[in-house]
Amino acid sequence: MLLFMLVDTPDPRYRGGPDPDDERERRWEPISSKLFLPAAGSMSCFVVSPFAGSRLAGWALTAAGVALCAQFVRVSLRDGGDGRE
């Protein structure tokens, strides 16, 4: 009986403040095309490269995938900023 009563006890940390999930949904923004396109292109190159016709084509697709991955990292670090708003 004692344990059952603890389940319904409100958490004193929140004290009637806004719900953190609602706050997160309000701040949510869709991914930009500057991030999505290099990431999708990189994954596509890595998935297709083993099935390329020749070794040169497979190597070129792998190199393109690495370059697109580097572009994704560069853009994500630049768009992320330093945390100040």
Give CA–CA dist 30/22, Å, rounded: 16
Q: What is the pLDDT of residue 78?
A: 84
Long-range contacts of 47-52 (CB under 8 A, 24+ apart): none
Domain count, the chain: 1
Whether residue 46 is contained in a domain is answered as yes
Whether residue 51 is contained in a domain is answered as yes
Whether residue 13 is contained in a domain is answered as no
Whether residue 18 is contained in a domain is answered as no
- Judge whether residue 5 has pLDDT over 60: no
Whether residue 63 is contained in a domain is answered as yes
Whether residue 82 is contained in a domain is answered as yes
Whether residue 9 is contained in a domain is answered as no
Give the orientation angle of helix 33-48 with respect to helix 55-80, to 10 degrees. 160
pLDDT tens profile 28-56: 677 888 899 999 999 999 999 999 999 99
Virtual torsion, Cα 70, 73, 75, 76, nearest 10 deg = 170
Whether residue 42 is contained in a domain is answered as yes
Domain that holds residue 66: 32-85
82 band by pLDDT with thresholds 50, 70 and 90: very low
Q: Which tokens belong to 52? A: 């390329």
